[in-house]
Chains A and B, each alone.
Chain A
């Protein structure tokens, strides 16, 4: 509280001080008969020089920042695709930095050079078609080059991958990532968000998970049965808002239940196999150098964005809409550590689309191994498939703490 008072007093005193200074200035200006609309030659020249000085400072500042920070922050590109885009980025940077220097130089230099001088009249020069044509056509040609090169690269980057690319899914939710490898068959199992249960967080589609979801919807701790029981209990009377909330919840769950029942009726059991061998990996994403990856993205709640800054890859994960990205890691984590001279370095996958309070913490360590190490790691995961690890799981009581709180609220 005292601080606030002091801050306020300082602000008030500051304003009074400026007011006094201005009054002194104005009285002296009146003596000089300056009406505030005529710029003296002295002021003019001073500002012109300052403009030139500013330009020099700007250029020096730019060169300083370039040499000190430049691209060092991210290091060299760590993917085959990233090497291609970095080359293009550098080319574009050379072009735009030249434009930046050239036009800013002309601007500040003209300001300096052509500041009003007594007796020198401005040159009446309303237009010149030839000049205007030049600076329409030249930028157009430069842009044509930029566009053509850019689109060629873009087409490469978004072209579909072949069968040899390993399929990995990145599942995003507030505020973490989960990876799912396609397993032996290199086919990701299908999914449906309605199948989400405690032991099927990624909502994979198999005959068993459908049953489990149906059971959960009906008999879970906040399932249809419980809500019906609550509503039908003659001993309790809810107030309007609670009872309305319960009814809304019930009708939503009944609708979801019907959809799940339809899913069960139409389910093709042949699809199960592709999901059973998938491997779910929570803490780190392990990739193999030189191997192309086709990464599918999913979001559970809001939009997230998978940002592999070192691989120069990025794509949003959108609820209800599958998206994809691809890249081929070209440097192992060890190689990058050497290149950056930082033994503690790790690649990261960051979330790059605002997704809530802890958005900035939503990341996943990415480890790129060489082929031998990667294969060894994969072999160690063989026993940890979706089937082995999650199904058949002991029929744990489906107690979702989160659901309880939403209900009581």
Chain B
């Protein structure tokens, strides 16, 4: 069927082809084409990720060399926030907060799910576009607006939000408690409100598209695992993001309307507040009801992308396709009943704590299934180590390494001693941050030809991968040991330990220097990626139609984008997407639109 893609330029095969003569604005700005929207998400997210990365380098410099003057800090922060090149305490918290917010929501949610759901759902399902192109466009522009607001909040006079990315009230509700809880927090809340709207519109669109717009023959059990992952991710988003909105809304009311949802019996800045009866724990429950599914909103798309990349480049079917779907569903379901493991030491009822221990540790089972299925997919494969494949393998490694420490943190009795220490920071950066980033990079390298019709430079891709992998482990591996030594997170300066325990302080400072150096190296490594990315868009060699010899439908579309994806009729699907190296076949891949041969059995 691949030949269909080359035939003619079909003008009349479907209805929504009326804007063939697209002008610059409708093609590049207010585009309703899912491919363009996917690219818009990617560009915006990459920019936001870059900002968040620079923020992290800024505070890493402070952590490694506290109190030392740094030109880099004064360059970015100026005299106001880094007088004489020394970071201010408040701004340290601001940097940490915005770094976390941007990374979790704008890079890993918007960038990963936004980019690849948009790009791949219609292409891999054999649909002309999303169910609603207009809503899809709206979803991007809400995302853009919320990104803008978040960036603006970095520049307000009283500083950006400073209560940590989880913005626990009362700290986030009281401008008297920290300066960032003034206008900065207001902007944060508005930005996130718009972000949630964007995410909701997007997710509903993805769900409807997956359910309704599959091409002929594309049954649910013939969908690539990427689509399963995006589908479940979208469901998680629809069910959990509104809860964050209510959490944020109640916080807005506490801040602006004098209500007492989260505030009770507070004296701050010498002022006795009359608020009584609110509960800070209520906020935490609402926040983590989103917050934990959010981890999987970030992680599942990365796992989906890597499933596809690993199968394609191992030239083998993904092992245990049905088990992979089952584990995605199980993870999705369980992710809703584990939020309390963030709250073991918050004063939540201990019995409730034990329930959450149980449910949380259950998640390890589908996760283990996924890992072993990946390993078996690699076993006896014929691996082609493209940069995408390397990133996907890196993802499996970080998923394991970060996942096993989760078993310790999920155990409430052990969490007591490790809660909110650097051990936790190391854990979630590896399992959620690195895995998702690796998945995203893998996705970009793998689908770049589909996005831009060009190939990325492979050598630069290798350099980028190795620097990123080594940098990531170099940053987050030692962090476990900083945490085991008892270092709380969000501390401006760990030399405070020197007063009571100088050997431990020395150890933390030593490791912090190592971590910062790795972080700087890893950050510089990303410049290679940025360069490769933009350079290849304009000057990369032209991509062949199916550069990786992959099976899924997106590779049957022409290299030059057309609105509606397939110039002729939609492809018809006859098989699952993982017929790689099938015995009896001529080639080591059989695209999904190739009918079963005489006497051939479906997998």
Q: What are the interface flags for B356-394 relative to A under an 8 Å C-beta threshold, 1 for contact and 0 otherwise?
A: 011001101100110111111011111111100010010
A314 touches B419 (CB 8 A): yes
With A36-B540, A74-B484, A252-B274 known to touch, is A123 a contact of B381 (CB < 8 Å)? yes
Query: Of all chain B residues, which has the CB nearest A196?
Result: B267
Partner pick for B397 among A44, A99, A108, A400, CB 8 A cutoff: A108
With A135-B369, A352-B420 known to touch, is A193 a contact of B541 (CB < 8 Å)? no
Partner pick for A127 among B279, B323, B346, CB 8 A cutoff: B323
A291, chain B: closest CB distance, angstroms: 20
A89 touches B408 (CB 8 A): yes
B266 touches A73 (CB 8 A): no
A371, chain B: closest CB distance, angstroms: 24
A350 interface hit (Cβ, 8 Å): yes
Partner pick for B264 among A117, A314, A321, CB 8 A cutoff: A321
Most central of A99, A316, A344 by chain B CB within 10 Å: A316
A36 touches B457 (CB 8 A): yes
A363 interface hit (Cβ, 8 Å): yes
In B435-469, which residues have CB < 8 Å from any A CB?
449, 455-460, 462, 466, 469
Chain A residues contacting B580 (CB-CB under 8 Å) are: 122, 124
B171 touches A360 (CB 8 A): no
B145 interface hit (Cβ, 8 Å): no
B315 interface hit (Cβ, 8 Å): yes
A118, chain B: closest CB distance, angstroms: 10
Chain B residues contacting A323 (CB-CB under 8 Å) are: 346-347
Rounded to whole angstroms, the CA-CA distance of A400 and B271 in the bound complex is 10
Partner pick for B416 among A37, A92, A312, A361, CB 8 A cutoff: A312
Rounded to whole angstroms, the CA-CA distance of A104 and B400 in the bound complex is 7
A255 interface hit (Cβ, 8 Å): yes
Chain B residues contacting A54 (CB-CB under 8 Å) are: 469-470
B322 interface hit (Cβ, 8 Å): yes
A271 interface hit (Cβ, 8 Å): no
B29 interface hit (Cβ, 8 Å): no
A154 interface hit (Cβ, 8 Å): yes
Q: Which stretch (A58-66, A226-234, A274-282, A381-389) binds chain B? A: A58-66
A100 interface hit (Cβ, 8 Å): yes
Chain B residues contacting A287 (CB-CB under 8 Å) are: none
Query: Of all chain A residues, which has the CB nearest B268?
Result: A301
B319 interface hit (Cβ, 8 Å): yes
B531 touches A147 (CB 8 A): no
Query: Of all chain A residues, which has the CB nearest B276?
Result: A320
B473 interface hit (Cβ, 8 Å): yes
B417 interface hit (Cβ, 8 Å): yes
Partner pick for A301 among B177, B279, B374, B412, CB 8 A cutoff: B177
Q: What are the interface flags for A184-198 relative to B under an 8 Å C-beta threshold, 1 for contact and 0 otherwise?
A: 000000001110100
Q: What are the interface flags for B384-427 relative to A under an 8 Å C-beta threshold, 1 for contact and 0 otherwise?
A: 11100010010011001100110110011110110111000000
A88 touches B414 (CB 8 A): yes
Rounded to whole angstroms, the CA-CA distance of A110 and B385 in the bound complex is 12
A302 touches B379 (CB 8 A): no
B484 touches A71 (CB 8 A): yes
B320 touches A127 (CB 8 A): yes
Query: Of all chain A residues, which has the CB nearest B269?
Result: A406
A143 touches B457 (CB 8 A): no
Q: What are the interface flags for A335-359 relative to B under an 8 Å C-beta threshold, 1 for contact and 0 otherwise?
A: 0000010101111101111111111
A69 touches B347 (CB 8 A): no
Q: What are the interface flags for A86-97 relative to B under an 8 Å C-beta threshold, 1 for contact and 0 otherwise?
A: 001100110111
A56 interface hit (Cβ, 8 Å): no
Chain B residues contacting A373 (CB-CB under 8 Å) are: none
Query: Of all chain B residues, which has the CB nearest A309?
Result: B486
With A125-B376, A256-B272, A256-B274 known to touch, is A107 a contact of B455 (CB < 8 Å)? no
B379 touches A124 (CB 8 A): no
Rounded to whole angstroms, the CA-CA distance of A400 and B72 in the bound complex is 42
Chain B residues contacting A183 (CB-CB under 8 Å) are: none
B502 interface hit (Cβ, 8 Å): yes
Rounded to whole angstroms, the CA-CA distance of A117 and B354 in the bound complex is 51
A154 touches B412 (CB 8 A): yes
Q: What are the interface flags for A158-176 relative to B under an 8 Å C-beta threshold, 1 for contact and 0 otherwise?
A: 1000000000000001100
With A88-B411, A122-B382, A318-B281 known to touch, is A400 a contact of B177 (CB < 8 Å)? no
Chain B residues contacting A340 (CB-CB under 8 Å) are: 501, 503
A394 interface hit (Cβ, 8 Å): no
With A36-B456, A154-B357, A314-B345 known to touch, is A303 a contact of B280 (CB < 8 Å)? yes
With A36-B458, A74-B486 known to touch, is A320 a contact of B369 (CB < 8 Å)? no
Q: What are 29 residue pairs bridging A and B, where the CB atoms are less than 8 Å apart in the complex?
A: A19-B531, A22-B532, A30-B541, A36-B457, A36-B458, A47-B390, A50-B466, A73-B486, A104-B397, A104-B400, A106-B375, A107-B393, A111-B383, A122-B580, A125-B317, A126-B603, A132-B323, A135-B368, A151-B413, A154-B353, A314-B420, A320-B265, A320-B279, A359-B490, A360-B89, A360-B488, A360-B491, A363-B496, A403-B271
List the interface of chain B (C-beta within 8 A of A): 71-72, 75, 88-90, 93, 162-164, 168, 170-171, 174, 176-179, 263-274, 276-281, 314-317, 319-323, 345-347, 350, 353-354, 357-358, 361-362, 364-365, 368-369, 371-376, 378-386, 390, 393, 396-397, 400-401, 404-405, 407-408, 411-414, 416-417, 419-421, 449, 455-460, 462, 466, 469-470, 473, 477-478, 480-482, 484-486, 488, 490-494, 496, 499-504, 507-508, 511, 527-528, 531-532, 535, 539-541, 543-544, 547-548, 578, 580-583, 588, 603
Taking A35-B541, A72-B507, A302-B266 as known contacts, 10 extra A-B pairs with beta carbons closer than 8 A to each other, sorted by chain A number, are: A3-B71, A22-B532, A26-B457, A104-B400, A122-B380, A123-B381, A146-B361, A192-B265, A194-B272, A319-B280
The 5 closest A-B CB pairs, nearest first, are A73-B485, A320-B264, A402-B270, A309-B486, A37-B547
